[in-house]
Amino acid sequence: MNMNIRADFPFFTMYPGIAYLDNAASTQKPLAVIDAIQDAHVRLAVTPYRSIYTLAERATEEYERARAATASFIGAEHADEIAFVKSTTEGINAVAHAWGRANIVPGDEIIVGELEHHANLLPWQYLAEERGAILKWIRVNFDGTIDPHVLDELFTQRTKLIAITGYSNVLGSLDDIAGKGFLKSVIAHARRVGARVLIDAAQLVPYQTVDVQKLGCDFLAFSSNKMLGPAGVGVLYIKRDRHDELIPFMHGGGMVESVGYKDNIYRPFPYMLEAGTQSVPLVMGWLAALDYINSNIDMKVLGSHCSRLTGYAKTELPDIPRVQLLGPPEVSPHDHLCSFYVDGIHPHDVAAYLDNQGICVRAGNHCAGLLHAKLGIPASVRMSVYGYNTDTEVERLIDSLKKLVV
């Protein structure tokens, strides 16, 4: 099963022998997205928001249509709760600067997890040091699991923010490794003490339906390139109730209403965080990706397909000599990745060997160095799938690893 979408991706025509299993880093792009970017470079090669001539106003309208479509996709109540940034990384940094610098004071507590991607770890370390705040950790067990009861001990009346991934880019589903409803439990604990919640949804939104209103988070960030869109576009959701808590992050054109010699009046969110000329072509590519997903992909079917392929890998990998699987062996309904290492062979060498077999996987610490240090390994190999991947491609990975260790 490949969800009947593989033919829409030029990558697989250009590289028919490649098994692309690095989708957690970036997915491939359907022709509709590629065409939309090229079309925008020709049809809308103007600057939005700045001029009143027809083409500039059309670019502004298209840009705002992408904003509204994004809000609808994640269940946001208002289109103005969506800002376009460069990436998930920039979105999280924007929250750290625009919200964190305005609201974190000495003695406040910020909770983060040991399993976080560096993008959702380093900004909070920097902010805590700068503001004299206390960084508290959600600890990961050596088997890659989390004790869900740890939340009861972490939250206090001084807790101002918890920043947590919605799906680990190394271990997989948090609901799987920490008990069902972990994210909901995190948010419930935060609400009890008045803390804000940021979710790194880079690995969450591409594979399952996310409704930010039902979830109840304050901030959420994800990236276009991990869900069929172009690199260079990230989405930052900030609940409207939090807009008055923000201060500008970057200063320049487009984010200011009026400028004086001393006092300036800044535009509200999202424009406050969209300084400078925005990339209409890339955002049009992102809009085309959303249109493609809405028209061609059932998120439940996508989740089922990916979890089935991942489940097959998780079943077969532990039976291969010297191969050690990271995290629990169970498969959640939306699992799309699994990480492992081979005793006695560096992950980079494993990935290089697989590359020679025409198999693309990720090797390294996956920007989760703290987690790998906690697990006592320098790096790991990660396989990740999307709707266009096939059973045969995962079988090729398994067979190649069996040949490697003989």
In the chain, what is the straight-line distance between the N-terminal and C-terminal CA atoms, in Å?
31
Select from 248, 270, 294 the last residue of a domain.
Answer: 294
Q: Does 339 reside within a domain?
A: yes
Is 367 among the residues known to form the active site?
yes
pLDDT at 288 over 60: yes
Select from 228, 260, 294 the last residue of a domain.
Answer: 294
Q: Does 262 reside within a domain?
A: yes
Determine the pLDDT at residue 13: 97
Answer whether 303's CB lies under 8 Å from 209's CB: no
Rounded Cα distance between 308 and 333, Å, is 9
Q: What is the pLDDT of residues 344-359, one digit of tens each?
A: 999 999 999 999 999 9
Q: What mean pLDDT do residues 43-47 have?
A: 89
Helices 280-296 & 31-43 angle (0-180, nearest 10): 150
Q: Identify the active-site residue in 306, 338, 360, 367.
A: 367
pLDDT at 1 over 60: no
Determine the pLDDT at residue 180: 65
Determine the pLDDT at residue 396: 98
Q: What mean pLDDT do residues 122-147 have?
A: 91
pLDDT at 177 over 80: no
What backbone phi and psi angles, to 5 degrees, belong to 45?
A: -80, 60
Q: How many domains does the chain have?
A: 2
Q: Could you tell me where the DSSP H helices lie in 140-246?
A: 150-154, 174-177, 182-193, 212-215
- Domain range for residue 172? 33-294
Select from 294, 326, 341 the last residue of a domain.
Answer: 294
Which among 394, 399, 285, 392 has a CA at the least distance from the CA of 335? 394
Same domain, yes or no: 194 and 88: yes
Determine the pLDDT at residue 329: 84
Same domain, yes or no: 152 and 255: yes
Q: Does 28 reside within a domain?
A: no
Q: What mean pLDDT do residues 32-45 have?
A: 95
Q: What is the pLDDT of residues 199-257, one digit of tens each?
A: 999 999 999 999 999 999 999 999 999 999 999 999 999 999 999 999 998 999 999 89
The β-bridge partners of 256 are: 266
Which among 205, 228, 401, 394 has a CA at the least distance from the CA of 308? 394
What CATH number has the domain bearing residue 331?
3.90.1150.10
Q: Does 206 reside within a domain?
A: yes
Determine the pLDDT at residue 143: 74
Determine the pLDDT at residue 89: 98
Same domain, yes or no: 267 and 378: no
Q: Does 325 reside within a domain?
A: yes
Same domain, yes or no: 350 and 377: yes
What backbone phi and psi angles, to 5 degrees, belong to 186?
A: -60, -50
Range of weakest confidence among 114-118, 188-192, 324-328: 324-328
Determine the pLDDT at residue 179: 60
What lies within 8 Å, CB to CB, of 215 at 6+ separation is 183, 184, 187, 199
Q: How confident is the model at residue 178 (pLDDT cuts 50, 70, 90)?
A: low
Q: What is the pLDDT of residues 84-108, one digit of tens each?
A: 999 999 999 999 999 999 999 999 9
pLDDT at 2 over 60: no
Determine the pLDDT at residue 5: 96
Helix or strand run (H / E) with residue 316: helix 299-316
Same domain, yes or no: 225 and 303: no
Q: What is the pLDDT of residues 316-331, one digit of tens each?
A: 999 999 999 998 888 8
